[in-house]
């Protein structure tokens, strides 16, 4: 008779009582001190949203490995944060390449002396789009159709797929060496509202983010034979970054797309990582909040009883920006997260 040791644990996602109020301020809600001394890997942690999360983790006392393909940005972030007395190290990484990611994980584990507690998958770009190659203006009589580029899929989806596999592998391998057994390893996915709705003329990006959501939904509940990690997902709307400026930000505004503040997403990240009650939840990180960061964040209820996030989005459709309300033109280079 087959053992049920390796069968999936019963899924609390069916329990409607699990809905979390993410609008509460962090102070007085969770103890962010639980991540002091923990080791974290943040994909693409040298700029934008990744840097915001990496900085917040380091400020709470975590040892943070920031990964990315731009040495100039990575080394600058490392120098700046270490200059503030934080513990941060940059590791050059190609987020879409297995060998590069594997090498980074090995280096981080050696750097941390066999500790790995937090992995955040913030890899995300939007450059090319499959529909661009199919535009009538690009048709030439008698020519074969051009092969569409796949770099967005390679980084946004395949890179997260690889990172998830490596994170779970090392959580299992290092379980017996964990310095704080009371703290479950954390796997935090950064998706996007485009992973819940479409993004007209954003095929590559939306497809990759729907894929990230699928990776999370199929790995968020560890099996009994595995290290018992926590896994959650953040779905921000457009996130304001330094590289969203001038013409690019104007394009967003032309499409009635407000930009989110990084602080709202960071608040959601810290809540997921530091709160033991938050497991298997997807958090909508909403644009335009004022006052306490994250005060408009909400539980998407991305499970069977919550209609896989659809009910919450429908309830808030009049109050928040959704990807389907914008049309990205073929020349759009807006940096969505």
| Active-site residue (options: 161, 162, 170, 205) | 205
DSSP code at position 310: H
**pLDDT bracket for residue 314 (50, 70, 90):** confident
pLDDT of residue 45: 93
The C-alpha atoms of residue 170 and residue 12 are separated, in whole angstroms, by 25
pTM, to two decimals: 0.86
Cα separation values, 182 from 60, 109, 117, 219, 276, Å? 18, 20, 11, 21, 10
The answer on pLDDT for 131 being more than 90 is no
The answer on pLDDT for 323 being more than 70 is no
> Is residue 276 among the annotated active site residues?
no
The C-alpha atoms of residue 157 and residue 136 are separated, in whole angstroms, by 28
What are 49-93's pLDDT values in tens digits? 999 999 999 999 999 999 999 999 999 999 999 999 999 999 999
For a pLDDT cut of 90, what percent of the chain falls above it?
57
The answer on pLDDT for 16 being more than 50 is no
The answer on pLDDT for 325 being more than 60 is no
| Active-site residue (options: 38, 209, 241, 251) | 209
DSSP code at position 183: S
**Residues 197, 209 contacting (CB under 8 angstroms):** no
Rounded to the nearest angstrom, the gap between the alpha carbon of residue 122 and the centroid of all alpha carbons in its chain is 4
The answer on pLDDT for 13 being more than 80 is no
> Is residue 205 among the annotated active site residues?
yes
The C-alpha atoms of residue 118 and residue 185 are separated, in whole angstroms, by 6
The answer on pLDDT for 130 being more than 80 is no
pLDDT of residue 260: 59
**Residues 194, 212 contacting (CB under 8 angstroms):** no
């Amino acid at each position: 008779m087959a053992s049920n040791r390796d069968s999936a644990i019963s899924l609390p996602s069916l329990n409607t009582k699990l809905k979390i109020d993410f609008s509460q301020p962090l102070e007085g809600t969770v103890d962010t001190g639980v991540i002091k001394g923990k080791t974290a890997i943040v994909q693409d942690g040298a700029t934008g949203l990744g840097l915001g999360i990496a900085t917040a983790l380091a400020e709470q006392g975590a040892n943070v490995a920031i990964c990315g393909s731009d040495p100039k940005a990575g080394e600058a972030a490392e120098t700046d944060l270490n200059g503030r007395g934080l513990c941060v190290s940059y590791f050059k990484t190609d987020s879409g390449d297995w060998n590069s990611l594997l090498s980074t994980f090995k280096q981080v584990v050696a750097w941390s002396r066999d500790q790995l507690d937090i992995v955040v998958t913030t890899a995300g770009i939007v450059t090319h789009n499959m529909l661009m190659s199919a535009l009538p203006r690009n048709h030439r009589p008698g020519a074969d159709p051009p092969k569409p580029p796949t770099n967005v899929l390679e980084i946004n989806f395949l890179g997260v797929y690889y990172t998830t596999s490596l994170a779970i592998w090392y959580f299992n391998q290092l379980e017996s060496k964990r310095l704080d057994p009371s703290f479950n390893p954390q796997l935090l996915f950064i998706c996007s509202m485009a992973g819940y709705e479409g993004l007209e003329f954003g095929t590559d990006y939306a497809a990759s983010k729907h894929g990230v959501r699928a990776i999370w939904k199929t790995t968020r509940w560890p099996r009994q034979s595995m290290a018992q990690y926590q896994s959650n997902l953040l779905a921000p709307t457009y996130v304001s970054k330094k590289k969203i400026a001038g013409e690019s930000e104007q394009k967003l505004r032309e499409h009635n797309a407000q930009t989110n503040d990084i602080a709202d997403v960071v608040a959601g990240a810290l809540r997921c990582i530091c709160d033991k009650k938050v497991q298997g939840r997807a958090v909508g990180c909403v644009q335009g909040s004022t006052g306490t960061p994250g005060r408009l964040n909400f539980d998407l209820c991305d499970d069977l009883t919550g209609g896989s996030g659809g009910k919450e989005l429908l309830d808030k459709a009049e109050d928040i920006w959704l990807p389907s309300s914008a049309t990205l033109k073929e020349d759009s280079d807006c940096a969505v997260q």
